[in-house]
Structure 1
Amino acid sequence: MTTSTKVLLLNSSILGDGGQSRALAEHFKTQAAERDDISVTERDLVAQALPHLQGEELASWMVPEGERSDAQHALAARSEALLDELFAHDVVVFAVPLYNLGIPSQLKAWFDRVLRAGRTFRYTENGPQGLLEGKRAVILAARGGEYVGTALDSQTPHLTHMLGLMGIGEVDFVYAEGLAMGEGRREAALKEARQGIASLTARL
C-alpha cells in the first residue's frame, strides 16, 4: 500500500487571485495533483483571517481545559484547531509574499497560535527544543525586488527560525524575485520558480 504524504498549504497573500505567491501555490497544487500519493489541505489565512493575538486568548491556554469558562474554551479553540491541523500533516507549504520586508500579518497570526510552549516546543536546560521533528516545510516566496542573500531579506531567517523552534529543520525555499522589475525579469523568475516547485514536488 502506498503511503500518502499529507500536505498543508497555507496562502497569505491579500491580493486574491492576483497575488504571485498564490500563482506559485496553484502551480504546486497542479504538480501535486499528478501524484496519487500526495493529498493537499488548503487554508487561506486571508479569507479565514485570524485576529491579532490578545492577552485574553493567550491566558486561555494557561487554564486547564476542565477549568476554562465558556469564553476561554472559545478562545483556546482557535489555537487547538490549528495545532490539530498542523499535527495531522507531514509537509507544510507556505505561499508567502514579501510585505514591507516581512511576512504578512495574517501569517504571523497563524504562527502566534502554533508556536506554543508545551505543544510544539518546550524549554529545557539547554534552551528550547522543538517537538515536531520529522515534518518538512516548503516556502514559496514571491517578491517584487531582489533580496535573497542581502541584509534586507529578514523574511528567510525569520521563517527558518520559527519553523526550527518547532523542530521543523528541513525547510526548502523556492524564490520568485524581481517580479516588479520588468516583464522579462518577471517571466524568467516565475519560470525558474515553477521549475523549482516541480522538482521539489517530485521529491515529496
Structure 2
Amino acid sequence: MNRILAVHGSPRGERSHSRRLTERFLQAWLEAHPQGELTRREVGRASLPHVSEAFVAAAFYPEPQARPLSMQADLALSDELVTELLEHELLVISAPMYNFSVPSGLKAWVDQIVRLGLTFNTVQDNGIAQYEPLVRGKKALIVTSRGGFGFGPGGELEAMNHADPWLRTALGFIGIEDVTVVAAEGEESAERTFQVSCAEAEQRLLALARTF
C-alpha cells in the first residue's frame, strides 16, 4: 500500500484547520514512505458539479455498456473520480464540520463516487433491494475540525454531528470500512483551548503517518 489519495473538502485555503492538519499528515506520511505516491483532489475550492437529472438517468441506465454518447459525457467526471479512488489503496479526507455536516463540495464528491455497478451493486431479495459493496482492500482517514466541543463519540453533542459519521457510513456502503477519524474541536472557544486540541490532533496524525 503506497498510493494515497487526499481529498480536500474545505472551501477555505490557508485558514482551514482541517486542510493544514491533513497536509501535516501527508508530509509526515511521505517522509515515512519515500516510495509512496500522493494524489490530491480538490473539492472544497474547486467547482465540482452536483448530481443532476441527467447524471441520475445516465448512472441508472439499464444497459451501461450501451449508454448513448450524451450519457457517457454526463458521467465523464464521475468515471474519472471513481477510477482515481480505485487506483489508490489509501484515502485521506479533510472534512471540516459546517452546520453539523460536510461542505457541499465534499458531498458532491461522494455523490459522484457512489456509483451503481462501479462501487456498489444492488440485487432483489423477495422484491427488496439488497446492496453489495464493490470496493475492497482500502482504508481511510478523516481529518476534521469542529467549532464546538463534544461532537465526538460519547460527547454531549454527538447526535448533532452529521459530518464524519455520515462520511463513515457512505464509505462503508461502498466497502471502505477501515476508517479512522482524527478531530480538532473548539475553534469557537478560547484560542489556547483550540490550540491544545489542534496540537493533540497533530500528534496523533504524526504517529499514524508511520503506520497508515
TM-score (norm 2): 0.88
- Percent pairwise identity: 31
Contact 1:140 1:174 in 2 (8 A): yes
Amino acid at match of 1:18: R
Structure 2 equivalent of residue 137 of structure 1: 140
Unpaired stretches in structure 2, ≥5 consecutive residues: none
Contact 2:4 2:91 in 1 (8 A): yes
Contact 1:160 1:171 in 2 (8 A): yes
Write the distance in 2 (CA, Å) between the matches of 1:65 and 1:78: 17
Contact 2:11 2:44 in 1 (8 A): yes
Contact 2:8 2:93 in 1 (8 A): yes
Give structure 1 regions of 4+ aligned residues with deviation exceeding 4 angstroms.
none
Structure 1 equivalent of residue 79 of structure 2: 80
Give 1:67 deviation, angstroms: 4.0
Structure 2 equivalent of residue 170 of structure 1: 178
Give 1:65 deviation, angstroms: 4.5
Length, aligned pairs only: 200
Structure 2 equivalent of residue 39 of structure 1: 37
Structure 2 equivalent of residue 26 of structure 1: 23
Write the distance in 2 (CA, Å) between the matches of 1:145 and 1:16: 21
Structure 2 equivalent of residue 17 of structure 1: 14
Amino acid at match of 2:134: L
The yes-or-no answer on 1:118 pairing with 2:128 is no
Write the distance in 2 (CA, Å) between the matches of 1:197 and 1:171: 14
Write the distance in 1 (CA, Å) between the matches of 2:45 and 2:104: 13
Amino acid at match of 1:142: S
Write the distance in 1 (CA, Å) between the matches of 2:50 and 2:85: 19
Cα 1:56–1:171 shift into 2, 3 Å: same
Q: Over the residues paired in the alignment, what is the CA RMSD in angstroms? A: 1.6
Write the distance in 1 (CA, Å) between the matches of 2:183 and 2:67: 46
Amino acid at match of 2:94: A
Write the distance in 2 (CA, Å) between the matches of 1:47 and 1:39: 23
The yes-or-no answer on 1:90 pairing with 2:93 is no
Give 1:66 deviation, angstroms: 4.4
Give 1:36 deviation, angstroms: 1.0
3-state DSSP of counterpart to 1:123: strand
Amino acid at match of 1:89: H
Deviations 1:142-191 (A, max 9, x none): 11111113211222321111011001110000011112211111111111
Structure 1 equivalent of residue 68 of structure 2: 68
